[in-house]
Copies of this chain bind each other. A is one copy, B any other.
């Protein structure tokens, strides 16, 4: 099977400057440096490119709308990862000990490997180019990618949240806390958070948008953005609740090496027990799971992967049907400014009026 990595995000340098205005060099966004008869030569670097070291192809596209003087940056193509001139610098793995699934159940199992992908004057043949300096379409491409990408987030996030909620409820049970009112409150909140992501993500598919002339169907952009924002905006609240339920031991738990060491095993077996009947090993494994699931890596993945919080808010703002909202408010406030709306007509006159 072939795998493809999506290389959109540029390194960006100074965030207040457009691609062509960057200093001291203008390679902070990937760009075309030469146009040849058989193809183009590109330079720049894409960053945080998930799974790129284990993919066959890179799909490279612009990360933002461009203006005319940024036209060299409006470029989109697909290329094998092992093309000459491409270098990958890998993210440091989050686990401290590959293969140790007791202490690092998540980070030893899953290494997304979001690499920095450098294009050092890479040649791209014409048949692999989708966009070449058509700068007015750059924003559309980035935006349409977002529609799919937000949803892809929801699919894996919903599962991640099932694990997180499961860890919280098991920890509560293992510690004998499952009937405590404030714990149930927090678990209920976690459940609604997990389920809401699932419901909203599914709804983005059920209410997908189709553009028949283009033979294109895509997730409902408003719903997909709301789902992603809801997930990302509440992640830190969720980890706070889970860590609160789990107790200080998430910070201070010793290594599995101590637990499995015959000299210390029985002590830890005895003292790290929870509710009677629960094996200490299970309790420790859930503690380790919580530690791994609420790491900096997971936090930043939650906020930034598939677009930062600001990106979702911007999309929601620009997709908003403000005319409908305004018509609703004008009707309620009895403002007649000559505008009409199919859903919200003016209210009929009421029997009495103060204005007369």
Contact = CB atoms under 8 A, between A and B. Distances in A.
Given A180-B16, A316-B192, A330-B170, A254 B92 contact: yes
A106 interface: yes
A45 to B, nearest CB: 4
Nearest to A16: B176
A254 B188 CA distance: 35
A332 interface: yes
Contact of A282 (B264, B317, B337): B337
A332 B102 contact: no
A248 interface: yes
A285 B332 CA distance: 9
Oligomeric state, in copies: 4
A65 interface: no
B308 A244 contact: yes
Interface residues of A, number: 154
A200 B196 CA distance: 8
A27 B178 CA distance: 22
Contact of A313 (B22, B185, B203, B296): B185
Interface in A227-259: 229-230, 235-237, 239-240, 243-244, 246-258
Nearest to A223: B199
A274 B288 CA distance: 36
Contacts of A327: 166
Given A9-B248, A244-B308, A305-B248, A329 B289 contact: yes
Contact of A192 (B226, B326, B355): B226
A3 interface: no
A120 B270 CA distance: 12
Given A250-B296, A253-B91, A329 B286 contact: yes
A275 interface: yes
Interface in A105-143: 105-106, 109, 114-116, 118, 120
A23 interface: yes
Contacts of A295: 295-296
Contacts of A105: 332-334
24 contacts: A11-B271, A13-B276, A23-B276, A45-B267, A91-B251, A99-B352, A101-B334, A101-B350, A101-B353, A120-B267, A166-B322, A166-B327, A169-B322, A169-B325, A170-B326, A184-B313, A188-B317, A200-B203, A236-B239, A244-B303, A247-B304, A251-B305, A281-B335, A285-B333
